[in-house]
Structure 1
């Protein structure tokens, strides 16, 4: 009735308020888990992106393959990883890259050939769908492990395709937390395998381009003639950068007066123009050298004037030397055009750089004088000429790299000359981002005392 108060129930609740519905209340535990799963998914995505970037930074195929294995292990927390590269026939593995094995585990497997594709590994070759096994031994294709093989129970395998063809298989075993691989692991490794296929194709293209550049460069370089009684050996290594054709060169000529002329040079630039300028400069220098007894300084001066008159070649550094008879021994007679000094290694395995006025590079100023230098060459000594690609490193001062090269030259001084120059080129202190040309000449050893 109007004006009268509504009676209140004895329990103190409003008469029309329904009792609470517990099912309608938010499940805070479930929401928190969803947020945690979103955070984990974000972390996995970021880890995957980091892994893809890490793989894409490599350009050498062996480094790419190894990085694929290690990044896959990191993504899913696997203790062991491997990548099997298929033979072109597709029937078996021709290469097997492993990671995660301890030194002792590798020692235990010494003498055992790498897997060719039997058992569970072969199952993935012939059935290239993702494979997860919680117990390898119970898989129908399992054939067991060879003696000394570390214990492995779980497996995650994913095929890697390049241009639609199976290139190889990525294998992971034993999560570090002891749990079997799950669907999240499988999905993230599948995504990584897709990026890995692109990285492998890029690395293979890089190898092809570099091989062609190296072949082209070698066609421009001479084959060293017989320089008896001297020994001579040379090596050329292209830069690691793709599409890089350099202007480094070397040459050696036996002269009519029983002297030998050797030259090392480097045209500025890493393109076809530099390579063409290198070939042009080398051929001109050969013409100026042959059948002349002109001092090296005069030859370089004439070369500089000729290049200026008839070419637009880039600046070039070079060192030109004559090895001349000097009584019972020999004498090094050289002139430099802005080039690094030669390295002399004596028969008692001591090394020193023949520092002298380096002169100015070719193509700078033809009016400047060019000095000559001489130094005796004892019997059995080795003189090494090289381009800056052998010693330049952006993280090290040039003096340190030169000192490292001198130590390397002493350490390998007992090798035959061909092996010697190879050792210097293989272990050089530079970063490999520039071409390397290296030419060494060894004088005859002293006759044994009667």
Structure 2
């Protein structure tokens, strides 16, 4: 069999490329690049095919990255190997990319691929002791525009580990939410249906929003916060704007959707005539079942007042779990204090004393006390008699706040969570929580 030739890729060759890729895929040699990447480069970058008559025998596809070229696909029909077709395609693709001024042409080959004669004959060198690493980007380019319109974003990848302490809550969220959502095939094997919606409840300032963001970070899914107060000004009304927002969210492949203070739009429905918000509550109750039908999504609602929620809102079938998020434990308070104490004085501050003095403090309370201590220490240093009359721009010799400064600020801090609220929370755990 002779008479083959090489020409540029045509759009009509797409089926042949698909056939060659599938042939490589099923021959025991896993292609390095995904089919979508190969097809995209065929259309946008550089591609040649070898043909006999009108039949495509092989293909070489490459793209340029700065001054280096990468061959992303190289395949030949089994019956046409060892006829010089591979070397011819490699030479042709290199000639077509020559005007780009490339300094190097490279390709990645699976370890199981031993048919590399064309590469060696074309002057390619087998670089030993190299390893290939890759990471999937969680949000594709085409989703970024929609994500921006929704006000969503990707959270920092280390946010989950940055949540210090609260090990009981973190372990619960890891097991109930992250595990089945991150491994849907494994969950299906065990008959586990990944959760679609959860409620986080607890006193104000206990970090429910932080946990919602941390879940998104752990899953590497976009985080989209829905603000009913912002939607209220929409000409379609709050219910219509809420419905439209969730329709747009459905176009994302994955998402953690967060509604804070959900009691504002899902409070107990009562009274005659019905309040305007009852229509919003009804709309939300319709949205949740439709949301649950879509895989790759998690709705997280947070509330400070779990008792205020409509009973129909919390029933089984809408929310998989109702999870309490309480005040930070000792380990968590230690982590929070460490975050706010300047590194210059960290070695001299008795953090354990601060942790012990802030039992019953929320994360927001600890932050307030820490910032208050820093401000008071700064003012004390700048306006002390030793520096009176000095240039205020000249920093004092004192390094920063001391243990005494922090303890004084703690004593002046009014805690967010009263004893009565804490007691109500403990009762709600017994009667409402669903773990």
- TM-score using structure 1 length: 0.25
Larger Rg: 1
- TM-score using structure 2 length: 0.26
